[in-house]
Amino acid sequence: MFDKLDDLVARLEELQNLLSDPSVVGDQNRFRKLMKEQSELAPIVEKYNEYKQAKQTIEDSLTMLDEESDEELRELAKEELNDAKQQLEQCENDLKILLLPKDPNDDKNVIVEIRAGAGGDEAALFAAEIYRMYVHYAEGRRWKVETLEVEEIGIGGMKSVSFMVTGSGAYSVLKYESGVHRVQRVPETESGGRIHTSTISVAVLPEAEEVDVTIDDKDIRIDVMRASGNGGQCVNTTDSAVRLTHFPTGIVVYSQTEKSQLQNKAKAFALLRAKLYDIEQQKAHDAEAELRKSQVGTGDRSEKIRTYNFPQGRVTDHRIGLTLYKLDKIMDGDIQEIIDACIAADQAAKLSKMQEE
């Protein structure tokens, strides 16, 4: 590990020199690429310097204990030694996590798809609530949310909704939300007061650039039509809605959220690219079954990941055995504690796998 860290220190110095070179500054693409690499290496090198400083403190304290006879100074050296040992252990653990292989999609924006599952109207109502939960969470992080596709029902629910979240590291955080979310509560439409269980599915897809996915024109049919839905100045008056059909996969995407046909077309293509990219990602995950098993719920869409129990006011994440009794806050977007716990569990699993190897 330490040979690799020394190489990273040398690489960071090399990057700093390159970034001050006028020929590099003039090449914007190369400059951005090197800046990104520098921002990734800097925290690792900073932590490694902390590690080396703690190690030096341990050596100095041991030397003082060997040579010093003054009892007061010896006590001071013992305190410094204990503190430095704790810091050294913490730095070593932090470095192991920082050196874990990084998901190449972590820095990407995401497209989130929510679909009502078992439970009819109640599932659609819950889908709308989970959509609002993610919107509130994203807004709290100052991320931009843009609706791509939505199919609503008359009582305020959503059969399905797709939206893009634009923000630094959005995929690295939201990828843990993929899976089946279950709700247990008495529906508003239930006169008998019985608790029902309904489900929705959430899929978090990394945004795919045009360079990530090639879409052949002959594989696509583009249909334009009048938008339908509840109100809106241009609904049913202009052919602004766009539907894309991808023949090789059978994927159909539809966008009508914008007044402009061009904007809807751009959104539809963004959603289609993300779906095609996700198919390739799933193939790669299936080919690396062991890696997928070591991850915390970032691959299997059929996995039941979480239960929202309204009568008891609790939320349970089944992957990590976490139960929180703050349902109201969570439904209002306060999901960071759950996400942090998923990240920690994922890192622990990967560290354990790395040590086994």
Over residues 134-154, the mean pLDDT reads 92
Over residues 70-94, the mean pLDDT reads 90
SS3 271: helix
Q: Which element (helix H / strand E) includes 87?
A: helix 71-98
10 Å Cβ neighbour count for 291? 14
Q: Which element (helix H / strand E) includes 223?
A: strand 220-225
Quickly state the pLDDT bin for 230 (edges 50, 70, 90). very low
Over residues 222-231, the mean pLDDT reads 70
CATH among 3.30.70.1660, 3.40.50.300, 1.10.10.60, 3.40.50.720 for 110-211+288-351: 3.30.70.1660
**Tokens at 59, concatenated:** 């050596």
Burial 144-172 (b: 16+ CB within 10 A, else e): ebeebbbbbeeeebbbbbbbbbebeebbb
Over residues 301-305, the mean pLDDT reads 74
Over residues 211-230, the mean pLDDT reads 78
Please determine, for residue 301, whether its predicted confidence score (pLDDT) is greater than 60. no
pLDDT digits (tens, 9 = 90+) for 254-296: 888 788 888 888 888 888 888 888 888 777 666 555 544 444 5
Cα–Cα distance measured from residue 167 to residue 138, given in angstroms and rounded to the nearest whole number: 8
Over residues 133-153, the mean pLDDT reads 93
CA end-to-end distance (rounded Å), the chain: 14
10 Å Cβ neighbour count for 306? 23
pLDDT of residue 255: 84
pLDDT of residue 93: 86
Residue type, 100: L
Domain ranges of the chain: 2-98, 110-211+288-351, 217-283
pLDDT digits (tens, 9 = 90+) for 45-65: 999 999 999 999 999 999 988
Over residues 88-101, the mean pLDDT reads 87
Strand order in the sheet with 144-152: 144-152, 158-166, 110-116, 196-206, 179-185, 304-309, 314-317, 322-324
pLDDT above 70 covers what percent of the chain? 89
CA 292 to chain centre: 16
Instruction: Give the length of the chain.
Output: 357
Stronger pLDDT, 158 or 217, i.e. the higher one: 158
Q: Is 217-283 a domain of CATH 3.30.160.20?
A: yes
What residues pair up with 251 in beta bridges, in sequence order?
246
Please determine, for residue 118, whether its predicted confidence score (pLDDT) is greater than 70. yes
pLDDT of residue 101: 80
The fold for domain 2-98 equals Methane Monooxygenase Hydroxylase; Chain G, domain 1 (1.20.58)
Cα–Cα distance measured from residue 256 to residue 149, given in angstroms and rounded to the nearest whole number: 7
Over residues 76-83, the mean pLDDT reads 91
pLDDT of residue 131: 96
pLDDT of residue 234: 42
Please determine, for residue 102, whether its predicted confidence score (pLDDT) is greater than 50. yes
Quickly state the pLDDT bin for 195 (edges 50, 70, 90). confident
